[in-house]
Structure 1
Amino acid sequence: MTNDVRTDDAGDQPARFSESAQPGQQGQPVRLKAGDAELTVDPAHGCRLTGLRIGGTELLRQGDKYGCFPMVPWCGRIELGQFRNGGERHQMPVNHPPHAIHGTGRDTAWRTVRADDSSAAFTYDLAAPWPYPGRVTQLVELAPDAVTLTMGVEAASDSFPAQAGWHPWFLRNLGTGEDVQIDFTPGWQEERGDDHIPTGRRIDPLPGPWDDCFGMPDGVDVTLTWPGALELKVASRAEWVVIYDEQEAAVCVEPQSGPPNGLNTLPRLVTPIDPLEISTTWTWRTLA
């Protein structure tokens, strides 16, 4: 699940800074534009995408908890907030009782490393309550018909298990017609226990509504269609995606590097010479 763009080199690339990323402007929203696509990133608020407008139509649910936020250094829930790294057991804050959910990156202020009209790079250093030093980088690249998000997790010294992914809140209805339709063909569904933690069993995919993780061994490939308005494809080399469509206002399609509770059940160790890298590309076309 590597990507051709090395995110750990982003800070060393020549930069042409936009007004929102000038020295002294750290923490200000960064606004990107390509064709009729406009995207806003708020580094001070977990480096989340707070808006994605296509031809003037907003695709993301608005509000402090919504938009699209990076999930790092883990995705989804950690059972009881606890994970092990070798013989060490660590306790994360239980922010979704009885579990810890969605990582610490969304609650952290990130630094804008560089930004131009259509791309930007951001970083933050892993710190308490996460027990291991390291650095996370997010690269955002906007084109007239696509946006690519790339994230990297580097270890500064000791190796540690980590995950990375994204949690977008796509509006169920764009105000132009019918509700969105979700189309995908997973290889399996991770059976979910009553505690919302995968049981470890892989089952045949069940019909929705979902708050479930699915395996896509050939890579994430999910199509969202707002009939008569827009088609958007979420793709990634990652092999897991969580689909959440239990709310009336929005649906979530979350590509991620491992399943929920994966720090315990499927740990991917990050070392100083082997960073975790993941990317997702959303492509769209208008149907009107």
Structure 2
Amino acid sequence: MTDDTVLLENEEGLTVEVSPLGGAILSARWRGIPVFAPTPAPGLASQVFGAEACFPLVPFGNRIEDNSFQFEGRDYRLEANTTDPLVLHGDGWLGRWSILQRNRQSVTLRFDQEASVATPFAYEAVQTVAIDGARLILSLAITNRADQTLPYGLGFHPYFPRTPETRLFARADRYWSEREGHLPGRPGPIPQDINFASGAPLPPNWVNNAFDGWDGRARIEWPETGFAVSLEADGHFRFFVLYSPSATSSFFCFEPMSHRPNAHRDQRDGGLVRLQPRQTVTGTIALNVEDLASG
């Protein structure tokens, strides 16, 4: 373990490694069994440690079409921040966070972003990672430090282990197809093979879709290991993205978000929060590890 890793642990058997690099979780284990799946990603922690298991999405998640948007009569532009041609997942996962507080069961980190030619967003983000028994609690707050009002969003990007028998439970009102550039296409009824309202296995084919009208609850079951994770998100999270590359992939992503991907380009009911200077938006999700037999 390096100086850039904070270890959280308790007697119940939950251990979490957190890095100030990207504000990323590097691993989460329940009695030695992975809850998250460390996976190579283009974030800062991956460049240093080789993998990330979860990272915060600030001040937005996913991509913005053409790296530009209009808001309240003004045009804004951003620059690509990875090898992807579209700006991806905001700034926090590509920067160093400072540690504000830490103890054996929680750590609070802060990230400061200044406006530049690459982004109009200027803000302070504060993330707290805490464990309590079998619960992992992730909280994120963004305060607008820009001189003008801007649309903000937040979210989390966890990687979960994918096993042959993995089952997902998640209820939503509709989904968005995927179009060129990994952007949302059109909304519509949820296809049966990716409808997880009553629980279903992950499909074998590529999945990279946004869902809205989410009730803030999800459950992942791993019969092979005998445990499950129940996820609860507060009312800010009405959207999620499901990313599952294939049946042979070792991971899949279930990404709670406060807004729809590309909502900056289509802000109608997109979930972005209009923050005036010095205003703050917060969001919290909690993951509870359970024995599958008692879940």
TM over 0.5: yes
Residue by residue over 1:158-202, the C-alpha shift from the partner in whole angstroms, topping out at 9 and shown as x without a partner, is: 2211211011111113xxxx5321122211112332332223x43
Residue 174 of structure 2 is matched in structure 1 by 188
Matches within 5 A, 1:102-251: 102-127=89-114, 128=116, 129-156=118-145, 157-173=147-163, 178-199=164-185, 201-206=186-191, 207-208=193-194, 209=203, 210-217=207-214, 219-228=215-224, 229-237=226-234, 238-247=237-246, 248-251=249-252
Shift of 1:95: 2.8
Shift of 1:100: 1.7
Shift of 1:240: 0.2
TM-score, with length taken from structure 1 = 0.82
Residue by residue over 1:24-77, the C-alpha shift from the partner in whole angstroms, topping out at 9 and shown as x without a partner, is: x9x62111112200001101x201100101001122222424310111111011
> Which of the numbers 13, 38, 41 marks the counterpart of 2:18?
41
Q: Describe the shift of the 1:96–1:279 C-alpha distance in structure 2 as closer, same or farther (beyond 3 A).
A: farther
Residue 274 of structure 1 is matched in structure 2 by 279
Residue 7 of structure 1 is matched in structure 2 by none
CA contact (8 A) 2:64 2:261 kept: yes
CA contact (8 A) 1:80 1:94 kept: no
Give the SS at the match of 1:80: helix
> Which of the numbers 19, 26, 30 marks the counterpart of 1:54?
30
Give the SS at the match of 1:264: coil
Give the SS at the match of 2:264: helix
Aligned partners of 1:32 and 1:97: how far apart in 2? Answer: 33
Shift of 1:96: 5.2
Aligned partners of 2:76 and 2:31: how far apart in 1? Answer: 49
CA contact (8 A) 1:37 1:55 kept: yes
CA contact (8 A) 2:18 2:26 kept: yes
Deviates more, 1:95-104 or 1:46-55: 95-104
Q: Which runs of 5+ in 1 are unaligned?
A: 1-19
CA contact (8 A) 2:221 2:292 kept: no
Residue 10 of structure 1 is matched in structure 2 by none
Q: Describe the shift of the 1:115–1:93 C-alpha distance in structure 2 as closer, same or farther (beyond 3 A).
A: same
Aligned partners of 1:133 and 1:60: how far apart in 2? Answer: 31
Residue 13 of structure 1 is matched in structure 2 by none
Residue by residue over 1:3-44, the C-alpha shift from the partner in whole angstroms, topping out at 9 and shown as x without a partner, is: xxxxxxxxxxxxxxxxx9xxxx9x62111112200001101x
CA contact (8 A) 1:154 1:271 kept: no
- Is 1:68 matched with 2:54? yes
Q: Identity across aligned pairs (percent)? A: 20
> Which of the numbers 31, 37, 41 marks the counterpart of 2:7?
31
CA contact (8 A) 1:216 1:241 kept: no
Give the SS at the match of 1:100: coil
Residue 99 of structure 1 is matched in structure 2 by 86
Aligned partners of 1:133 and 1:251: how far apart in 2? Answer: 31
Residue by residue over 1:104-156, the C-alpha shift from the partner in whole angstroms, topping out at 9 and shown as x without a partner, is: 11000000000111111100111243323220110111112111111111012
Give the SS at the match of 1:106: helix
Residue by residue over 1:261-283, the C-alpha shift from the partner in whole angstroms, topping out at 9 and shown as x without a partner, is: 11222242222353121111111
Letter in 2 for 1:214: F
CA contact (8 A) 2:230 2:290 kept: no
Aligned partners of 2:62 and 2:78: how far apart in 1? Answer: 15
CA contact (8 A) 1:240 1:257 kept: yes
Letter in 2 for 1:253: F
